[in-house]
A and B are shown apart, each in its own frame.
Chain A
Amino acid sequence: KAGVTQTPRYLIKTRGQQVTLSCSPISGHRSVSWYQQTPGQGLQFLFEYFSETQRNKGNFPGRFSGRQFSNSRSEMNVSTLELGDSALYLCASSLRQGAEAFFGQGTRLTVV
């Protein structure tokens, strides 16, 4: 059974640009969550989608947005990149809300 797939694995962007990250959940999983991980802050919750609807949102500015498609694949977008957005972005899928989450390898974003 294939795991959670995130693309791309690594990304270097310039300040002010925008970026789109992709996540393909485990087959049959309908819940997808996104997290930002930095050395000082740990995993910070960005948002959660279930059946194409955003169910929860963390305390991040509006520059961070996401969506989920009918096949449960999800994307997150960050506009007007700042140096502080450099981080490992992790996607996790669950069979349902409240169940254990399975994480992808993450996308390492570096903003220069």
Chain B
Amino acid sequence: EDQVTQSPEALRLQEGESSSLNCSYTVSGLRGLFWYRQDPGKGPEFLFTLYSAGEEKEKERLKATLTKKESFLHITAPKPEDSATYLCAVQAGVGSGGYQKVTFGIGTKLQVIP
């Protein structure tokens, strides 16, 4: 069964203090790894898609990287507005209908303190 584990569950940073969030996965036949940001009471907002090991993508203070077993979301000099829950999801394997399915991690709740 596909598994996606995110760590840490919660992270508290001072404004400007860079850090990384981890997403490790155990799946058969990874087709894509997605990062989302979710604010309280809202639906997840798409950030990045990574398809193959070694791939990197950047957006403002965020940079996502992918290896064969995990992905990292690096946050450089975070600001309070970066506070949110960050979700990782993988598309792999085959679901009940014969098509690939998406599995989400529990998420990392990030709090950036001014």
- Which residues of A approach B to under 8 Å, CB–CB? 4, 33, 35, 41-45, 48, 50, 54-58, 90, 92, 97-106
- Give Cα A42 to B108, complex, Å: 11
Of B42, B49, B106, the contact of A42 (CB 8 Å cutoff) = B106
In the complex, chain A residues whose CB is within 8 Å of the CB of B44: 43, 90, 92, 103
* 19 cross-chain CB contacts under 8 A: A33-B102, A42-B104, A42-B105, A42-B106, A42-B107, A48-B101, A54-B97, A55-B95, A55-B98, A56-B100, A58-B101, A90-B44, A92-B44, A97-B99, A100-B46, A102-B46, A103-B43, A105-B42, A106-B43
For the complex, count residues of B whose C-beta is within 8 A of A: 27
Closest Cβ of chain B to A104, distance in Å, is 5
Question: What is the chain A residue whose CB lies nearest that of B96?
Answer: A57
Of B43, B98, B103, B107, the contact of A90 (CB 8 Å cutoff) = B43
Q: Let me know if A56 and B42 touch, CB within 8 A.
A: no
Question: What is the chain A residue whose CB lies nearest that of B87?
Answer: A43
Tell whether B79 is near chain A: CB-to-CB under 8 Å.
no
Q: Let me know if A105 and B87 touch, CB within 8 A.
A: no
